[in-house]
Chain A
């Protein structure tokens, strides 16, 4: 980190993004929107139960008043499409968008291309919270749709607060490096606690694992409703900070000389990215790699400016995770494949390619 910060002043390539930064180009924006819409349509149309896209569309239109379109779906198909598949698609879109935009923002704030949304201990904290709830909450409470998401959310926030306090105690001069190290420390510590609790209650092993693996197999509109407000607010804050991220990527001193309150800007971005990630994780479990591969794809294909990377990551991340979830529910149909397997299986080779071609990338 220190080396990167030190090298910033001398390296003209680092300044290049500002020169080329013109925000989201019309073409790139349009392509991404089309990608997202296509992903949503595929997500709604493809699954273990075959329902034609035409009848799904007519079914959607039947809800529009004054059109008088006849509802073409039977009770079962209707339940499959609108109560099981649609919330799954919506949740995957929200979570994918959030993880990608949070990953992009963390990468900007910490000036480290390997940062992911779980950097500050969100994953470990959420995992610990969820495990504690699964193991210690009464059966009735565990059966409730609130207990585990709330515990995961609380665990994630608590872990990040401790990480931030720990990182801050080092002093502002080395803040970003210290925060990353504090995050690694916190992640390791919470993982140890989580494993300990889980091993003490082996009868709940299956539940803990299936939460940790993550996924949308049991997504409901209720899940969508509890995470949507956080994700919407966080994404909005991050998109509004896209220019600040461009300036921050030049280095703290440069950003300060350009009139930015570096400490406050960084805190706002970290808080927004963390809250949104915690909300996403609490309803979907731990889904790796989305936060790394989506922003890097945008950087490779469109622009390294955060004015493009942030909003396009939001849209592309949503589309990517919807498509990943389609693979997860169809490739072994009627069995499910854990979505983490799919994201990592597609993500790892992809990331290898990004690494090979990323000279000069940030």
Chain B
């Protein structure tokens, strides 16, 4: 009787050890292969996935995911998603940053795992998302390396700007009708890193961090840096800005501190923000 109970306990213990071992194995080793058919419907997530080394597991990306070039771009839309078109790819993981009409829960009913990656409001959130994607795809190492590289590069870029240029007034332009971004947005948090003063902050919470500013306010506020995030959408350049009525009085125009950014890079919260910050630093230092 005694022996039997010892054997039962031993067997139970052995079973427990086995189960926990295999669970641990699943966490570390097998997790790498958990999702091989990933669909990204967010251009930023696509950039993140390829940067951390999960590109091979991606079977389709949305029509706006134009970077990197090797990403399997399709006509899937992240704004007006079609769940049948998505299901056709037999994905095991769908990553979205926009969830119109409860579309995520409908996909989940089809047995597809859906993860919502929200638009980051600052660098910390962006880093967190990259690490989460690393965990999800089994590329935590790659993700850590990307975040580390972003942190160190950004720190070096900020340090390269002399103290006297750390408090410049910046105007970030989203379109030629003067929609801008405040410090509470992701792009605003990049300017905050430099110590720049975002002239849109005076408009406070209106427009969810993206207010439309008055033209006369911009001219009177006299920004020392202008960043154009409407070069591709709307053809804005240094010369089109300097020829706007009244804008020739603005310091940034007079000192050629107008940076024509790539609209895509400036509107996403992925690893390429380092390139963006480098260009901003170059503009801040000149003149």
B233 touches A204 (CB 8 A): yes
Residue in A closest to B231 when the chains form the complex, CB atoms: A139
A217 touches B64 (CB 8 A): no
**B121 CB–A CB distance under 8 Å:** no
A84–B244 alpha-carbon span in the complex (Å): 10
Residue in A closest to B199 when the chains form the complex, CB atoms: A334
A76 and B219 in contact, given A84-B245, A335-B212 (Cβ under 8 angstroms): yes
Question: Among residues 67 to 91 in chain A, which have CB atoms less than 8 Å away from a CB atom of chain B?
Answer: 75-77, 79-80, 83-85, 87
Residue in A closest to B247 when the chains form the complex, CB atoms: A79
**A199 CB–B CB distance under 8 Å:** yes
Residue in A closest to B232 when the chains form the complex, CB atoms: A139
- A332 contacts across to B, CB distance below 8 A: 203, 206, 211
A336 touches B212 (CB 8 A): yes
Question: Among residues 310 to 343 in chain A, which have CB atoms less than 8 Å away from a CB atom of chain B?
Answer: 329, 332-336, 338
B177 touches A218 (CB 8 A): yes
Question: Among residues 153 to 184 in chain A, which have CB atoms less than 8 Å away from a CB atom of chain B?
Answer: none
B212 touches A217 (CB 8 A): yes
B246 touches A83 (CB 8 A): yes
**B162 CB–A CB distance under 8 Å:** no
A329–B231 alpha-carbon span in the complex (Å): 26
Residue in B closest to A202 when the chains form the complex, CB atoms: B79
A350–B214 alpha-carbon span in the complex (Å): 28
Give the shortest distance, in Å, between A55 (CB) and chain B (any CB). Answer: 15
Residue in A closest to B62 when the chains form the complex, CB atoms: A202
**A220 CB–B CB distance under 8 Å:** yes
- B219 contacts across to A, CB distance below 8 A: 49, 76, 79-80, 84
Partner-contacting stretch, out of B12-20, B104-112, B183-191, B234-242: B234-242
Contact of A79 among B178, B207, B212, B245 (CB under 8 A): B245
**B213 CB–A CB distance under 8 Å:** yes
A47 and B214 in contact, given A84-B219, A334-B202 (Cβ under 8 angstroms): yes
Contact of B177 among A140, A217, A221, A335 (CB under 8 A): A217
Question: Among residues 33 to 83 in chain A, which have CB atoms less than 8 Å away from a CB atom of chain B?
Answer: 47-49, 75-77, 79-80, 83
A217–B235 alpha-carbon span in the complex (Å): 19
A138 and B245 in contact, given A84-B215, A333-B217 (Cβ under 8 angstroms): no
A202 and B64 in contact, given A84-B246, A335-B206, A335-B207 (Cβ under 8 angstroms): yes
B214 touches A143 (CB 8 A): no
**A257 CB–B CB distance under 8 Å:** no
A75–B240 alpha-carbon span in the complex (Å): 20
- A83 contacts across to B, CB distance below 8 A: 245-246
A218 touches B214 (CB 8 A): no
**B216 CB–A CB distance under 8 Å:** yes
Residue in B closest to A204 when the chains form the complex, CB atoms: B233
Give the shortest distance, in Å, between A97 (CB) and chain B (any CB). Answer: 23
- B245 contacts across to A, CB distance below 8 A: 79, 83-84, 87, 220-221
A199–B214 alpha-carbon span in the complex (Å): 28
A362–B222 alpha-carbon span in the complex (Å): 52
Residue in B closest to A211 when the chains form the complex, CB atoms: B177
A210–B180 alpha-carbon span in the complex (Å): 13
- B178 contacts across to A, CB distance below 8 A: 217-218, 336
Encode A199-236 as 1/0 by CB contact (under 8 A) with B. Answer: 10011111100100001011011000000000000000
A143 and B236 in contact, given A203-B64, A217-B214 (Cβ under 8 angstroms): yes
- A144 contacts across to B, CB distance below 8 A: 235
- A220 contacts across to B, CB distance below 8 A: 244-245
Residue in A closest to B230 when the chains form the complex, CB atoms: A207
A139 touches B234 (CB 8 A): yes
B179 touches A210 (CB 8 A): yes
Give the shortest distance, in Å, between B206 (CB) and chain A (any CB). Answer: 4
**A142 CB–B CB distance under 8 Å:** yes
A336–B212 alpha-carbon span in the complex (Å): 5
A352–B122 alpha-carbon span in the complex (Å): 46
**B85 CB–A CB distance under 8 Å:** no
A203 and B233 in contact, given A49-B217, A332-B203, A334-B203 (Cβ under 8 angstroms): yes
**B249 CB–A CB distance under 8 Å:** yes
**B92 CB–A CB distance under 8 Å:** no
A144–B202 alpha-carbon span in the complex (Å): 30
B interface vs A, CB < 8 Å? 64, 77, 79-80, 174-179, 202-204, 206-207, 211-217, 219-222, 231-237, 240, 244-246, 248-249
